[in-house]
Structure 1
């Protein structure tokens, strides 16, 4: 990691609400990280507007312009590495990454997923939690490994499932917690308190449980 403030590149595909949470924290005096660049695979992603309004460099690597996933990921690696980041953060980046990409950023690539992993890897997590009759749901920040949504968790926010919840109402409450725990995890990394070793998460030198640290929302 470079000396001084941790340089973070954020990858997005959509509106960028988690990006906004990161931008808000990074703008505070004494913040240990700065968002140095925001990259999207979609030119119309609103998150690019959020970044530009915050004075952050933006760029687009459009996956539709590449013949293969591998070619796209190599171009994305080049664009990211031009920014010399210490950490790469996925914030609603709707692409399945190649093993080559994941290995390139091993130990410095984070994602947030709207479920209490390992439950409900993949899509439609809120509906699946409701269909299963779960009493709890939430979100997980985790290191990214080659297994989709399978990297070691860093922190989970647990949200109760209320009677009468819909996908929309549950998603809204989960998202509030996402905006709290993602900047928290990035801050831990920036302060050199957080690392991935042997496919497990260590915080302040201590091995975290398989579910990561937990907060209740």
Structure 2
């Protein structure tokens, strides 16, 4: 299979970035990371990228007068690398409709909840407040509507009696580190495709299942 190019967008520590890079290096993911772009110069993930030998670029959103002009600069930087896929890995910016449409079908995100439940921020706090028994993460295609794109894969963790937002967040993050690379692997191999705004799984394949505090996934 031809190696595909990933470009990752980050705003913080880049823990999902590191999980994806490990999957690329050990052959689980038929891809390489061509570049990492951040909107925050002090993002901790950038230092790790430089140590790992990954190309990085900073496009600070604060220097642009509005969201549209920032997105134009971001798109130009992305296109310089001509990636096959654009992967949001803790990128804390809401993208404009025109940006999303430019990369429709190639723009992927992971969200720390079982969408469509709890879109947006503070998902762990909302889950605890709602009293639900299960929480988790969702890998999905990005569309203009926030956290509402076609779902590629989901994973779940139980909510424990003594959970607080921090303990729940840590368990969900552990889940994300396994769910995201596995979901991307299926997507890059063509095991699932986006068709008529839905994710369709090819015969013989199904969305990977993840559950529990130490989740595992299907091949």
Alignment TM-score > 0.5, same fold: yes
What is the deviation of 1:214?
A: 3.5
d(CA) in 2 for partners of 1:50, 1:185: 23
Contact 2:10 2:90 in 1 (8 A): yes
d(CA) in 2 for partners of 1:69, 1:37: 22
SS in 2 for 1:149: coil
Contact 2:152 2:199 in 1 (8 A): yes
d(CA) in 2 for partners of 1:42, 1:138: 27
Indicate the residue corresponding to 1:95 in structure 2.
93
1:14 corresponds to 2:9: no
- Counterpart of 1:215 (choices 203, 210, 215) is 210
Indicate the residue corresponding to 1:138 in structure 2.
136
Structure 1 segment 140-159 matched on structure 2, within 5 A: 140-159=138-157
What is the deviation of 1:65?
A: 1.2
What is the deviation of 1:29?
A: 3.9
What is the deviation of 1:26?
A: 0.9
Out of 26-35 and 135-144, give the one that drifted further: 26-35
What is the deviation of 1:30?
A: 6.6
Structure 1 segment 173-212 matched on structure 2, within 5 A: 173-204=171-202
Indicate the residue corresponding to 1:61 in structure 2.
59
**CA-based RMSD:** 1.7
Indicate the residue corresponding to 1:172 in structure 2.
170
Gaps of 5+ in 1: none
Gaps of 5+ in 2: 213-219
Structure 1 segment 41-60 matched on structure 2, within 5 A: 41-60=39-58
- Counterpart of 2:123 (choices 122, 125, 132) is 125
SS in 1 for 2:81: coil
What is the deviation of 1:31?
A: 3.8
d(CA) in 2 for partners of 1:145, 1:207: 24
Indicate the residue corresponding to 1:115 in structure 2.
113
Instruction: Spell out, residue by residue over 1:4-26, the C-alpha distance to the aligned partner (whole angstroms, 9 max, x if none).
Output: 20100000000101111011111
Contact 1:23 1:54 in 2 (8 A): no
- Equivalent residues, number: 212
Contact 1:145 1:151 in 2 (8 A): yes
TM-score (norm 2): 0.92
What is the deviation of 1:213?
A: 5.1
Contact 1:40 1:60 in 2 (8 A): yes
